Amino acid sequence: MGPPREAQPGSVARVEPLAASNPLVDWSWVSSNQGMILSLLWEHVQLTTIAVLFGLLISLPLGVVAWRLRLVRPLVVGVTEILYVVPSIAVLSLAAPLTGFFSITTAEVALVSYTLLVLVRNVVAGLISVPADALEVARGMGYTAVQKMVKVQLPLALPSILAGLRVATVTTIGLVNVTAFIGQGGLGRLIIDGSNENFNTPIVVGLALSVALAAVADALIVGLGKVSLRWQPGRTAGAK
């Protein structure tokens, strides 16, 4: 049996295990499929970015509502908890008839649903932690409720929000692999293809790049937090 075949443009490589051995990493396969690997890595980044951004856009107003209306808070948090504990495959199966069985929309519906619990909780926690004296100062300056939220409360809640963003981003990077089952999984397609063909290299490459991507994303958010929170001495993006 010959060496693993090179991937055709726009598709995941079909791999054939070597007859004599199945090395942990076949560097010749990596070299010949470099373009395909980078394409899947970029797809992984796109899927993650879209999910986290939409999750944040949904979670900010939900978190503000849950913080302001205590009677509504258990309902909002409860719904996000239900979405979080439902298995990802089940979410994909439920969304697929409405959004398309192999569409990016189906993948994003599942991914966004898993970001909401962490983000909503951290938005609420951040707003609760805003010092009362800061609100008094804002009130004394004649700020409206909207001005207080935008200029005082959300900036002071930013450390908690960024901490949630870190967790949501790293979690989503891992979950993107699952969406490979509907053809939208980025690096997960390498893992599934390698498993189906009993060939280690795509699995190792997919896992290694997923871990590296999570580490890079986490470092970027930490860096963003340090730049954004310079006016808060001793506070970082990881602070809660």
Q: Flag whether 14 is in a domain.
A: no
What CATH number does the domain containing 81 carry? 1.10.3720.10
Q: Please give the C-alpha separations between residue 122 and each of 1, 118, 153, 206, 215, in angstroms, as whole numbers.
A: 54, 6, 13, 30, 21
Q: Flag whether 107 is in a domain.
A: yes
Per the structure, the count of domains in the chain is 1
Q: For 165-197, what is each residue's pLDDT tens digit? A: 999 999 999 999 888 888 777 899 999 999 888
Q: Flag whether 13 is in a domain.
A: no
pLDDT of res. 20: 44
Provide φ and ψ at 82, rounded to 5°. Answer: -60, -45
Q: For 3-24, what is each residue's pLDDT tens digit? A: 444 444 445 555 444 434 677 8
- CA 30 – CA 13 distance, rounded (Å): 11
- CA 151 – CA 149 distance, rounded (Å): 6
Residue (of 194, 189, 187) closest to 212 by Cα position: 187
Please give the angle made by the CA atoms of 29, 213 and 23, to the nearest 5 degrees. 25
Q: Flag whether 125 is in a domain.
A: yes
Residue 134 neighbours by CB under 8 Å, 6+ apart: 152, 156
pTM exceeding the 0.95 threshold for the entire prediction:
no
Q: Flag whether 139 is in a domain.
A: yes
Q: Flag whether 24 is in a domain.
A: no
Give me Rg for the CA atoms of the chain: 22
pLDDT of res. 231: 58
- CA 23 – CA 1 distance, rounded (Å): 15
pLDDT of res. 239: 40
Q: Flag whether 127 is in a domain.
A: yes
**For the chain, which ranges sit under pLDDT 70?**
1-21, 231-240
**What letter represents residue 5's amino acid?**
R
- CA 197 – CA 15 distance, rounded (Å): 6
- CA 48 – CA 170 distance, rounded (Å): 9
CB-based burial label for 15 (10 Å; 0-12, 13-18, 19+): buried
Q: Flag whether 69 is in a domain.
A: yes
pLDDT of res. 86: 81
- CA 157 – CA 130 distance, rounded (Å): 7
CB-based burial label for 7 (10 Å; 0-12, 13-18, 19+): buried
Range of the structural domain that residue 224 is part of = 34-228
Reduced to 3 states, what is the DSSP secondary structure of residue 33? coil
